[in-house]
């Protein structure tokens, strides 16, 4: 399998740069170093079935794109790749002379309105997703099927756990029999002598269990198992605690410290993307290094309310429609021109 190290050892790398917060001028002392690069496969790998479009390390902090993949993403105006066309000089670690043939004007187009704006709005969803998890935490102790069971007695319905406590019954001594045509409803029986299977056989069970009930036995109530509610809970429990295990603690602590209950770093990137898209329309270039650093860092530090930021982002997005409609940018990259560039670069590299 092709690796980052193997590409560098064989000298296939033609471009490498520090990207992310350090390229935007938005880094702090704890910021990671993200790297993106472009490599060219040797002929035998390029023409064979072993073509590899991109390679990354385990943490995804370093990602290298094969030349074809790089040009393809540029032609689609992918925001992360478009930034590589105008990196601050101090962030460029390596640049082969053939990379000078990649002219930003060939790729900058009105497609940027949608690609940058759409990417921005995925960040809004991520920020909101964090808000939901913070505002609605899930207790570590996992609920069981029993917590989603209810007993109907006369004119009232009570939780099964309360019913068992009031009657001094043990769930292991209970028996269930399905009721035809009533989904997730069961006749509930109790016996000290008869070996019923219980409502559940074990604590980690994901469903109730049925028992063999003698014909002469009378039910002590009607049990309803909220199976759909239990399934939703299980999914939410799994998602929440997987998020806890994988979350970026620094970002989470920042969110908790400013108390606004949203991922402020994601919201910062929303505005960076939208403002970059605006500059592409008005200036015809990508400004990677941000002159609006103070405003963006204020967002990151949680100085604004979530709803206010979403409203501002909506205004900015609508403004893009008018700016791109009257911009002099081409509608989309000329694919014939792009293909000629790719062929030319590869031929020059192979020599």
- Does residue 155 carry a pLDDT above 90? no
Provide the mean pLDDT of the chain: 90
Query: What confidence tier does 138 reach under pLDDT thresholds 50, 70, 90?
Result: confident
Checking if the pLDDT of 125 tops 80, the result is: no
Q: Say if residue 235's pLDDT is above 80.
A: yes
What pLDDT is stored for residue 263 in this prediction?
77
How would residue 247 be classed by pLDDT, with cut points 50, 70 and 90? low
Residue 81 pLDDT:
97
Length of the chain: 351
Give dist(CA 301, CA 268) in Å, integer: 9
Element (H, E) at 112: helix 111-135
Helix H or strand E segment including 223? strand 221-225
Calculate mean pLDDT across residues 29-45: 92
Mean pLDDT of 71-95: 96
Q: Stretch 89-113: mean pLDDT, rounded? A: 96
Contact 153, 166 (CB under 8 A): no
CA distance 151 to 257: 44
Q: How far apart are CA 198 and CA 122, in angstroms?
A: 47
Mean pLDDT throughout 138-167?
94
Buried b (16+ CB within 10 A) or exposed e, 98-128: bbeebeeebbbbbbbbebbbebbbebbebbb
DSSP, residue by residue, 136-161:
S---SSPP-GGGGEEEEETTEEEEHH
In the chain, % of residues over pLDDT 90: 73
pLDDT for 249: 60
The DSSP letter of residue 84 is: G
> What pLDDT score was predicted for residue 274?
95
**Which residue's structure tokens are 């402020």?**
264
**In angstroms, how far apart are the furthest CA atoms of the chain?**
92
Q: Is 182 helix (H, G, I), strand (E, B) or coil?
A: coil
Judge whether 174 and 168 are in contact, CB under 8 Å: no
Whether the per-residue pLDDT at 271 is higher than 60: the answer is: yes
Per-residue model confidence as pLDDT tens digits over 173-216: 999 999 999 999 999 999 888 889 999 999 899 999 999 999 89
Q: Take residue 92 and report the two structure tokens written for it.
A: 């460029």
- 271: nearest Cα among 287, 257, 292, 255: 292
For helices 111-135 and 249-258, the axis angle rounded to 10 degrees is 70
The two tokens of residue 181 are 């045509």
Cα separation, 178 vs 180, in Å, equals: 6
- Give the span between the Cα atoms of 152 and 302, in whole angstroms: 49
**245 φ, ψ (degrees, to nearest 5):** -70, -30
């Amino acid at each position: 399998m092709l690796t980052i190290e193997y590409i560098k050892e064989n000298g296939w790398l033609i471009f490498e740069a520090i990207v992310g917060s350090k390229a935007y001028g938005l880094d702090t002392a704890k910021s990671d170093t993200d790297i993106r690069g472009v490599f060219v496969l040797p002929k035998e790998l390029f023409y064979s079935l072993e073509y590899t479009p991109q390679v990354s390390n385990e943490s995804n902090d370093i990602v290298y794109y094969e030349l074809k993949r790089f040009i393809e993403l540029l032609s689609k105006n992918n925001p992360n790749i478009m930034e590589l066309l105008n990196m601050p000089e101090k962030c460029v670690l390596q640049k082969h002379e053939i990379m000078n043939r990649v002219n930003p004007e060939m790729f900058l187009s009105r497609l940027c309105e949608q690609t940058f704006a759409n990417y921005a709005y995925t960040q809004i969803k991520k920020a909101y997703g964090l808000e939901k998890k913070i505002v609605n935490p899930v207790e570590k102790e996992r609920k069981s099927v029993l917590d989603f069971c209810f007993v109907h007695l006369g004119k009232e319905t009570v939780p099964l756990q309360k019913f068992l406590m009031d009657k001094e019954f043990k769930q292991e001594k209970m028996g269930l029999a399905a009721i035809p045509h009533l989904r997730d409803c069961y006749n509930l029986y109790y016996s000290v002598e008869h070996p019923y299977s219980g409502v559940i056989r074990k604590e980690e069970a994901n469903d109730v269990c049925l028992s063999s009930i003698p014909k002469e036995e009378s039910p002590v109530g009607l049990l309803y198992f909220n199976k759909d509610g239990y399934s939703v809970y299980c999914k939410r429990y799994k998602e929440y605690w997987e998020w806890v295990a994988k979350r970026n603690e620094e970002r989470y602590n920042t969110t908790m410290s400013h108390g606004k209950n949203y991922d402020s770093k994601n919201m910062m990137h929303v505005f960076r993307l939208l403002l970059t898209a605006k500059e592409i329309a008005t200036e015809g270039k990508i400004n990677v290094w941000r002159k609006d650093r103070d405003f963006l860092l204020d967002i990151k530090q949680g100085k604004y309310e979530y709803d206010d930021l979403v409203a501002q982002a909506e205004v900015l997005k609508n403004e893009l429609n008018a700016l791109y409609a009257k911009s002099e940018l081409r509608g989309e990259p000329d694919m014939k021109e792009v293909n000629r560039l790719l062929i030319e670069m590869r031929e020059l590299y192979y020599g």
